[in-house]
Structure 1
Amino acid sequence: MARGAPSPADQQVVRELAARGVVVTPSRLESWRRAGLLSRHRRRGLGRGQGSVVEAVDPVVVETAAALARHLRQGRNRRLAVLDWFAEAGMPVLPGAAVVPEPPAGAVREALVWVLEGSVSQRLLEVARGAAGAGEEGQDALYAVAGRMLAARPHRRPVHPAVMRAALLAGEDPPDEPGSGGVVHLFAALGLGPQEVGAEALAEGFAAVGMFDLTAGEWAQMLGAAERGEAPPVPWELLGEVDSVEQVLGASDEELVRARTVLIGLRPFYAMYMLHGLFMPDTPGLAALRARIDERGLGPVLDQVISISPTPQQFAEGLVACLGGMLDELYEALMTQLATDSHVFRIPGDEHGAAGFMNTWTHTLHEQANGGTGFGDGA
């Protein structure tokens, strides 16, 4: 084979992908190898001094190249492609479909850190740490910078699906939950210390992120009781979880994969939870799943973390939120509940199962769109 000429194995990979309508070149395969994203074909030794040959085209190389071709488009940053590839590798495999190989763990970690370092939350954290020890001037500067950064990404608490459902059934507009920039207080606490920020401001911050679905007043009461020694001390070390970069660097490869499992696994549960507000027929199974979320007060947190079709940036931030802790525990509780009653889309008394469920929902949506009221509490 001429020096620099593509190997027969790579030529075979190019042909196999071309048969799927995927266009790659041998030189592109080599560039992916140089970047550490594509492995070489397995080789078999011919004996001492005889060299080696490729036994067969490695299916993993073919599927890896196919994944890279899907995500690493011309001019796109390689790290974003790696995150999309990592997300795809965690999706359920459809019958007859090929398994998407995992990207190199080191490339995934590098991509996560790179994306998170550019996030608003990480930049806010850096500003907060820079304000430490700078007195009132530093605190004022922190809040001024944070205000400008958060203005581009205003946060609004989601309307609870049961409240949304009741309002729409009554022919009323859903309540407009006020926005809040209170989240900046949590970042300020990391830089300036919780005592400098104060219980009232921190209460607003916890309420702004929807922590346990408590109001600012309820948080203020709890924090005040802790300050007076009337309740257990507040575990301020939990604020350290705001540093998403440190979390990724401290997580093992297995923990990152587990976080992906939790993040992707929570999506359908979040959809079922929120669609209750848009006239999805209710069933005992769906009600039980919603109860698992509501009893933990994690509906607002899911609303911030879960995106049905996330960008790589949203995926990275959601992944960090699912690194252990309360969302991992919620996922396990929901999976256990689903195993207990898997007939979530079966309306009691309707023998048509999921088909009857969808017909009922379609009919209800049609009725509501036409100003009807053909919708009962049991539907």
Structure 2
Amino acid sequence: MARTSPSPADARLIEYARSQGVEVTARQLERWRGKPDPLLPRNERSWPGRPVGGSSSTADGEIGELVAWLGKHQKQGRSRDHLILGAFAAGLRVPESSVRSAFGRHVIEMAADLRKNLGPLLPGADPDDWVGDGASRIALEQQHRGAGVNRRIRKIDKSLRELPALAEFWPTIGALDGSAGAEPLDNAGLAFHSVLGILLGADGIMPETIARVVRSRSGVSDLNPGAYLLETDNGDPLQALRDAPAHQVPGLPESSMLHHLHSLVLDTPLERLRAAWQAAGTLATWAEDLCAAVETEIAYGLPGPASEKWIYGMLFSLSRDLIRVGLAEPNPTPSQQCSSALSLLFVAGGTEAALALADEDGRHRADLLTPAPLRPLVAGLPAR
């Protein structure tokens, strides 16, 4: 319960907020400090010239900025996580434990949904059948999601394939795909293998399946050098998933990808976590701007920089998922933005690991293929 009169430190916070045009009460300050996951840290204690046992609370300018922000943005019905993540994204001093809890809740909720869809593993049941049947049920529910987004993407793909200015380009690219005509996955198959990958990580994805997924996600099955490289490369594209995660989410298979995301939540430095959240917030604008720019170039019959970026996504798939997410989530919820931020962090980590082993040509390819929202998270790429 708030005091009948605020402490001197709280009085200074209230006065600072008022100077910024925001009215805040002592009761609000106490509520924001409430556990679990406080929005506001407690005032520090000091003992200036007092005997042992006496103390006074002090407030600093950074906390004043946070109080003013909370007073301005707190609205009826707005979730605590929304406020925590919004203040964190603004660079304010939200308690670190609250930030990690807000990110972590997203992973825990995903895990709970998966466990609910899987159902209990009955005595004597085959674990592989249990996971496979659960993945099938989830895939059937998800196979038609994003149909409108996919139609727009396919329309752009088709228009670029038919553009007279690119007539000589496509056969040249097609010659680089030694597996042209390999069977892609339909929507149900794509959803099934995506769910299986989340549930089982590298254990749930066969090497040949990766290339089929790339062909399906890129929308170009008959010429896809990126998929062909995956089919013929002796390296392990899933090495990042095979590395043991530092932390586990209870109740999931040991190889689940969610363990890796959970570990990112707990171990990623706060500034990098903030950068990932901010990058995820750019996906919608970036995807819409890219689509609009490509559509304009197509309308004029003159492929330019936007078409070049789009075609890299068609042929190597790295940007394709980000475009889908950006178009499907024009105003992402905190949970959706958490998901995108953690996915970007995971992909950035894999990209940095690949860059560390790459030769000059490999680094040049990474520079060309890394989409704009991911670039701020990948060390070693030149600024653009």
* TM tier, smaller: 0.5 to 0.7
Identify the range of structure 1 (213-222 vs 235-244) with the bigger mean alpha-carbon deviation: 213-222
2:113 match: 123
- Deviation, 1:39, is 2.9
1:325 match: 349
- What CA distance in whole angstroms lies between the structure 2 residues aligned with 1:270 and 1:114? 27
Matched, 1:109 2:104: no
1:247 paired residue among 256, 264, 270: 264
- Deviation, 1:326, is 6.0
1:145 paired residue among 137, 145, 149: 137
Residues 1:288 and 1:326: Cα distance change in structure 2 (over 3 Å)? farther
Equivalenced residue count is 312
- Deviation, 1:312, is 0.3
Task: Point out where structure 1 has 5 or more consecutive residues left out of the alignment.
Answer: 90-99, 171-177, 340-379
- What CA distance in whole angstroms lies between the structure 2 residues aligned with 1:278 and 1:124? 38
- Deviation, 1:108, is 1.1
1:277 match: 294
Matched, 1:316 2:331: no
Residues 1:86 and 1:245: Cα distance change in structure 2 (over 3 Å)? same
Question: Quick one: which amino acid aligns to residue 253 of structure 1?
Answer: L
Task: Point out where structure 2 has 5 or more consecutive residues left out of the alignment.
Answer: 165-184, 242-254, 353-365
- Deviation, 1:144, is 4.3
Matched, 1:61 2:78: no
User: Residue 226 of structure 2 contacts residue 316 of structure 2 at CA under 8 Å; is this kept in 1?
Assistant: no
Q: C-alpha root-mean-square deviation of aligned residues, in Å?
A: 4.9
- What CA distance in whole angstroms lies between the structure 1 residues aligned with 2:315 and 2:160? 20
Question: Quick one: which amino acid aligns to residue 325 of structure 1?
Answer: G
- What CA distance in whole angstroms lies between the structure 2 residues aligned with 1:168 and 1:215? 16
Sequence identity, in percent? 21
2:322 paired residue among 302, 312, 324: 302
- What CA distance in whole angstroms lies between the structure 2 residues aligned with 1:48 and 1:213? 72
After TM superposition, the structure 1 = structure 2 runs for residues 105-254 of structure 1, keeping only pairs within 5 Å, are 105-119=96-110, 123-124=113-114, 134=126, 137-138=129-130, 141-150=133-142, 153-154=145-146, 157=150, 159=153, 163=157, 180-181=187-188, 182-188=190-196, 203-208=211-216, 210=217, 215=221, 222=228, 231-232=233-234, 234-239=236-241, 242-243=257-258, 244-254=261-271
User: Residue 14 of structure 1 contacts residue 23 of structure 1 at CA under 8 Å; is this kept in 2?
Assistant: yes
User: Residue 305 of structure 1 contacts residue 317 of structure 1 at CA under 8 Å; is this kept in 2?
Assistant: no
Q: Deviations over 1:68-105 (max 9, x none)?
A: 23444344432232123223x1xxxxxxxxxx514222
User: Residue 82 of structure 1 contacts residue 111 of structure 1 at CA under 8 Å; is this kept in 2?
Assistant: yes
Question: Quick one: which amino acid aligns to residue 186 of structure 1?
Answer: S
- Deviation, 1:46, is 3.3
- What CA distance in whole angstroms lies between the structure 2 residues aligned with 1:196 and 1:333? 26
- What CA distance in whole angstroms lies between the structure 1 residues aligned with 2:159 and 2:75? 42
- Deviation, 1:320, is 0.5
